[in-house]
Amino acid sequence: MSAMYMLIAFSLIIATGFVIAFIWAINSGQYDDKYTPSVRILFDDEPKSENVNPSKKNIEKKEDVALLKNEQQK
């Protein structure tokens, strides 16, 4: 029974810590940004850069694919 009292006391201490952390986050301005979520959908994504000079590894893969296709056609 004494273990149960210790667990209840420990859980109340942890819960109090979470409440204090939450209140601190609110008071420090953690949730003040009300504008960005409403316009986030309008932000453009970063353009994907195409690889102008394919690496040797990519060339080897393309050659392997071409060889496999030729073997399958035979």
Residue 29: CB atoms within 10 A of its CB come to 8
Q: Could you list the residue range(s) of the whole structural domain that residue 12 is in?
A: 1-43
State pLDDT tens for residues 50-63.
655 555 555 556 66
Whether the model pTM is above 0.85? no
Residues 6+ apart with CB under 8 A from 44: none
**Is residue 16 situated within a structural domain?**
yes
Task: Tell me how far apart the alpha carbons of residues 43 and 9 are, in angstroms, rounded to a whole number.
Answer: 48
Total tally of structural domains belonging to the chain: 1
CA 8 to chain centre: 35
**Is residue 7 situated within a structural domain?**
yes
State pLDDT tens for residues 11-70.
999 999 999 999 999 999 888 877 787 787 787 777 776 655 555 555 556 666 666 666
Write down the residue that tokens 């420090």 correspond to.
28
